[in-house]
Amino acid sequence: MTHRPSPPESLLADHVTQQFVPAPDLVQWARETFIEDSATLHNPEHQHLNHALIGALWTNVPNGRHGRIILAQCETGAPRAMGKWAKARAEVQIEQWFGGIPDFILTFDAGYAATCSDVEWCALVEHELLHAAQERDAFGAPKFSKSTGRPKFAIRGHDVEEFTSIVRRYGAEPAHAQAFIDAAKKGPEIGRASIAHACGVCLRQVA
């Protein structure tokens, strides 16, 4: 594995000015470490990303949701639905960062990236890459653009509580899935039938 990229010192030292700094070296590292066929920690689940345009950002802006700290995020590159000027303004900013509109933008908390272990960092980056998915049709086959032949991209949700691939490759602790695994080992506190009989959809399935 090549030396992992680090956020700029100026970003870590400034706790007042909110900043987002493009990180092209991070994208290159991710490709050489996880995505390319010759990658040192190659994961075939990222195969479609060989054809994706990926942008990455370091930030010192704190983020959280429902009482949980957010350390990284994967988003589609095109700005989401918003007013015409707001969308145009966002597109200009993205193009200034990356020279165009990427398929995905990965954003990482600079403070965490500077202090976490190599295993925790790899697990975090791969977690975000697994969100950067290829669309599937109703039969589970990957979808491609008819005009360009490129994969059609989308954001993928978790499988269960955490991506199975992350737990398999790094273990439960770096994936923050130990509590889920421990609960599964203990067995259910409430039986399947009890849950099913409290849900109208499940009732039809077990009748």
Name the amino acid, one letter, at 49: L
Task: Work out the pLDDT band at 202, boundaries 50, 70, 90.
Answer: very low
Mean pLDDT score of the chain: 83
In this prediction, residue 200 carries a pLDDT of: 32
Instruction: Give the tens place of pLDDT for each residue, 154-181.
Output: 988 766 545 677 778 887 766 566 666 6
The whole domain housing 42 covers: 9-176
Is 192 among the domain residues?
A: no
Pairing status of strand 104-109 against strand 72-76: antiparallel
Instruction: Give the tens place of pLDDT for each residue, 60-78.
Output: 998 887 788 888 999 999 8
Residue 26 has pLDDT above 60, yes or no: yes
C-alpha span between 124 and 117 (Å, rounded):
11
In this prediction, residue 156 carries a pLDDT of: 86
Is 100 among the domain residues?
A: yes
In this prediction, residue 60 carries a pLDDT of: 93
Is 134 among the domain residues?
A: yes
Residue 24 has pLDDT above 70, yes or no: yes
**Number of folded domains that form the chain:** 1
Q: How open is the CA angle 25-14-67, to the nearest 5 degrees?
A: 85
Is 184 among the domain residues?
A: no
Please give the C-alpha separations between residue 100 and each of 54, 78, 94, 125, in angstroms, as whole numbers. Answer: 10, 10, 7, 22
In this prediction, residue 204 carries a pLDDT of: 37
Instruction: Give the tens place of pLDDT for each residue, 99-137.
Output: 999 999 999 999 999 998 888 888 889 989 989 999 988
Is 186 among the domain residues?
A: no
Is 196 among the domain residues?
A: no
Is 153 among the domain residues?
A: yes
Exposed / middle / buried, residue 174 (Cβ in 10 Å: 0-12, 13-18, 19+):
buried
Is 187 among the domain residues?
A: no
